[in-house]
A and B are shown apart, each in its own frame.
Chain A
Amino acid sequence: MAELGLTPYLCLGAFLFCCGLLCIATKRNAIGILMGVELVLNAANVNFVACARYVPQFALEGQVFALLVIVLAAGEAAVALAIILNFYNNHSTVDVDKADELKG
């Protein structure tokens, strides 16, 4: 393969997405789950920028929405960490299996 197409980037995005999903599903530390969410958002961003490069009519849109996703991810990390720290202050743990107070 001498020519680099859109497919390798999309495959890398799919791989990062699945790693993030696996991270969310298997980690019990709340901050580990947050890292999984960051991986998923990055996978979406890779797809946005790759499509911006290879589909000419999305050249601007892909970059604009990639930037919006980066800002959203920063805000999401701030709120998630605030919630995790609040939970840690109240319960002295970051194990999400212990966060079952609302369980029926």
Chain B
Amino acid sequence: MILDVVLFTAIASATALSALMVVFSRNIVRCALWLLFTLIGVSLLYFLLGAEFVGATQLIVYVGGTMVLVVFGVMLTAQQQFLKIRIRPQEWMVASVLAGSLFVLLVTTSFHLGEGKTSPPTEPMPGTGPLGVGFLTKYLLPFEIISVHLLVVLIGAAYLARAKRRPGGNRG
């Protein structure tokens, strides 16, 4: 039990710190790097909670797929004037006050929700077997919807990002 607390403290503080650095980094490339650390930290938390399949999926899809997309987006649009865009201080003020008050609200709600749930149940989380059976029986409709959604999204993304004919004549 004490190992759980130590591991949670270490992983959670690293995750929270890198999430803060995503917000406060001026350079967009560094933001992407800190976001990578945040996602890895979240996947470690899933492993700590005993949800191995979700943690592995997070590592493969998020860290391996989505982050590569984001990094490619950064590289394709990286020009010196966009790497660091200045923000006015009053915008920072308004956003910080809003986010801070929302954080206080959410934490009070968390303490209400977490009351009495101090120790996890002894039986382990359902693994890949129950998850797969669940996806093909009880959750078949969401599974099918998300499959079609993924197909539509990928076709739409390819259509949106295709190379267009430039007004000058040759394809760009």
A interface with B by C-beta (< 8 Å):
1-23, 25-29, 31-32, 34-36, 38-39, 42, 45-46, 49-50, 52-56, 59-60, 63-64, 66-68, 70-79, 81-86, 88-89, 93-95
Contact = CB atoms under 8 A, between A and B. Distances in A.
A87 B91 CA distance: 24
21 contacts: A5-B114, A8-B12, A21-B95, A22-B95, A22-B99, A25-B95, A32-B31, A45-B58, A49-B45, A52-B51, A53-B50, A63-B54, A63-B126, A64-B135, A70-B54, A74-B61, A74-B62, A75-B153, A78-B69, A81-B73, A86-B161
Given A1-B5, A42-B39, A53-B50, A59 B117 contact: no
Contact of B87 (A5, A26, A59, A89): A26
A85 B73 contact: yes
B146 interface: yes
Give chain B's interface secondary structure class. helix
Interface of B: 1-2, 4-5, 8, 12, 15-16, 19-20, 22-23, 28, 31-32, 35, 38-39, 42, 45-46, 49-51, 53-54, 57-58, 61-62, 65-66, 69-70, 72-74, 76-77, 82, 85, 87, 91-92, 94-96, 98-100, 102-103, 106-107, 109-111, 113-114, 117-121, 123, 125-126, 130-131, 134-135, 139, 142, 146, 149-150, 153-154, 156-158, 160-161, 164
The 6 closest A-B pairs by CB, nearest first: A7-B114, A10-B110, A14-B106, A25-B95, A75-B153, A82-B160
B163 to A, nearest CB: 9
A11 B110 contact: yes
Contacts of A93: 82
Contacts of A22: 23, 95-96, 99
A18 B154 contact: no
B110 to A, nearest CB: 3
Given A32-B28, A85-B77, A16 B16 contact: yes
A38 B40 CA distance: 13
Chain A contact residues: over half helix, strand or loop, or mixed? helix
Contact of A70 (B58, B87, B156): B58
B119 A3 contact: yes
Contacts of B53: 63, 67
Contacts of A89: 164
B129 to A, nearest CB: 11
B126 A19 contact: no
B1 A2 contact: yes
